[in-house]
Amino acid sequence: MIKVHERFLKYVGFDTESDPNSDTCPSTEKQKQLANVLIEEMTEMGLEKVFLDENGYVYGEISGNCEGPKLAFIAHMDTSPDLSGANIKPRIVSNYDGGDIVLNASQQIILSPKEFEHLLHYKGQDLIVTDGLTLLGADNKAGIAEILSLAEYLINHPEVKHGPIKIAFTPDEEIGRGANLFNLERLDADFGYTVDGGELGEVEFENFNAATAKIKVKGSNIHPGSAKGKMKNALILGMEFHNMLPTFDNPAYTEKYEGFNHLNDFSGSVESANMLYIIRDHDLEKFEEKKKLFRDIETFLNQKYGDATIGVEITDSYFNMREKILPHFHLIENAKAAMQTLGIEPLVVPVRGGTDGARLSYMGLPCPNICTGGHNFHGKFEYIPVQSMEKTVEILIEIVKRYANFKI
């Protein structure tokens, strides 16, 4: 069997960064390069009904050898556009000593436990890190590697009893589109898990309600020498809009179940400006209040500066999967029990983000999220312990065993 971290290192060699400005699916054609490799690997491994559709979704399955629900394991192929996923140069820090890790000496980029205390949990383990110039891609290529290591184990150990196992890998999760064209009929599963979480032991069945707000500001540019009473500076109006939002509804001041309004992009000139916000809250009522505030500010500023000065377009992205998981709470109980059997303390935490599982849960596939073992996703300080990946594969195997002959 191929070691799980070796699989992972192979996958991060593919640049699969998604593009929020593209209207195609997948949003970047290069995601299909990894998809084709996965198709080849899954076929050689002996999975059945291996298929890559025209939208870049990968499917496969392993027949059951006993009664039990059809259980799916899902991960995404794309990496976040927040930082480059091209030319990733991973390296393994063997037997980590608990000190600073110099990722890039020339640019003085250092991964330090002074900033990231969780590093100290992995003293003596082997950490996969970047060279400080790109993200690593553990979100979510670690999940892919772990799922296919599970598949290889089951195929090579037919004595392990399990029901039908369904596998899927999606494009464009990082830009909120991973479930848009997911074919649940082809997957044909009763329940699922996305393997897309963070540190070892995480189990997540609550996530943000999420929306995107696009703000268009229309200004009026007049020569500053004769602008009195005439100029409307779109950049300043945009700042006024932002300053009317609650100061502490900002991701820099929030944690756990606290929501936020995050200004993700602001560009423009005196004549016009564009702002992009992501709106998040676990509580649906508070989520709706946040969206209403955006519209109220739009109304106020248009009354102040003239109609059509401010335009607000809000689009819902996904909703909290909690209500869809609670009727099938065995998914959480079995994941926790699997971890406890392996001596891993379950960490039931809310997702401060979203997963394909949230969308899939609302589409009819109850699908909570479990750990990959990684830390510091979407940035140059991303890392993952080899031992956490190995333990995650063991968790997946144990979950599969628990659903053998499981009665719904």
**78 catalytically annotated:** yes
CA distance 205 to 348: 8
Task: Output phi, psi for 394, to 5 deg.
Answer: -65, -40
The amino acid that residue 99 corresponds to is G
DSSP 181: T
Cα torsion angle, 371, 372, 378, 383, sign: positive
The residues, ordered by sequence, that sit 6+ positions from 306 with a Cβ below 8 Å of its Cβ are: none
CA distance 172 to 317: 13
The amino acid that residue 86 corresponds to is A
Q: Which of 15, 41, 146, 173 is catalytic?
A: 173
Overall size of the chain counted in residues: 408
CA distance 204 to 36: 30
* Contact assessment for residue 153 and residue 393, using Cβ atoms and an 8 Å cutoff: yes
* Contact assessment for residue 26 and residue 55, using Cβ atoms and an 8 Å cutoff: yes
Dump strand ranges (E) for 32-143. 48-52, 58-62, 71-76, 91-93, 101-104, 109-111, 127-129
Q: Which of 61, 78, 281, 398 is catalytic?
A: 78
**173 catalytically annotated:** yes
Measured at the alpha carbon of residue 390, what is the angle toward residues 386 and 391, in degrees to the nearest 5?
A: 115
The residues, ordered by sequence, that sit 6+ positions from 145 with a Cβ below 8 Å of its Cβ are: 4, 5, 7, 8, 11, 389
Residues labelled catalytic: 78, 173
